[in-house]
Amino acid sequence: MNSVSTTTPTTTIDQVLDAIKFNDDGLIPAIAQQVDTNDVLMMAWMNADAVRETLSTGQICYWSRSRGQLWRKGESSGQIQTLKEFRWDCDADTVLLLVDQDGVACHTGRQNCFFNAVREGEVSVIAEVKIDPKELYK
């Protein structure tokens, strides 16, 4: 599956922005899923500028609510996500990003952000740290 980078025309980007529904804060939830394994990697937020940048560059860009700015995934850690396909749900209020994850997705050094689970009535950590977080953000 080819990346959508530099192949998404402005008119298509405008169509997407018209189709999806941002919340009152101008944000939409974005779920990142590894394209070849279907592993759910993370959930973050996007605003219109993040959607536009993601579709025009093919590199995933989110909106950081804590920093109040665009967050280009992997900009500081090197753990980038390359967009393979951009989807939205039937209510147009959530987007699904099929990505090729380079390295780990989670700032904790795990492959994905969903490493806490309830199994057999107990809370468990179900994924090991693959990269020391101190190494990710030198």
CATH number, position 16: 3.10.20.810
For residues 36 and 125, what is the distance between their CA atoms, to the nearest angstrom? 24
Q: What is the pLDDT of residue 97?
A: 99
Per the structure, how many domains does the chain have?
1
pLDDT of 7 strictly over 70: no
Is residue 49 assigned to a domain? Answer: yes
Is residue 127 assigned to a domain? Answer: no
Is residue 68 assigned to a domain? Answer: yes
Q: What is the pLDDT of residues 112-129, one digit of tens each?
A: 999 999 999 999 999 999
124: left (phi over 0), alpha (psi -120 to 50) or beta: beta
Is residue 58 assigned to a domain? Answer: yes
Is residue 78 assigned to a domain? Answer: yes
Q: What is the pLDDT of residue 137?
A: 79
Domain residues for 17?
Answer: 10-105
Is residue 26 assigned to a domain? Answer: yes
For residues 26 and 50, what is the distance between their CA atoms, to the nearest angstrom? 11
Is residue 19 assigned to a domain? Answer: yes
Q: What is the pLDDT of residues 14-65, one digit of tens each?
A: 999 999 999 999 999 999 999 999 999 999 999 999 999 999 999 999 999 9
Is residue 97 assigned to a domain? Answer: yes
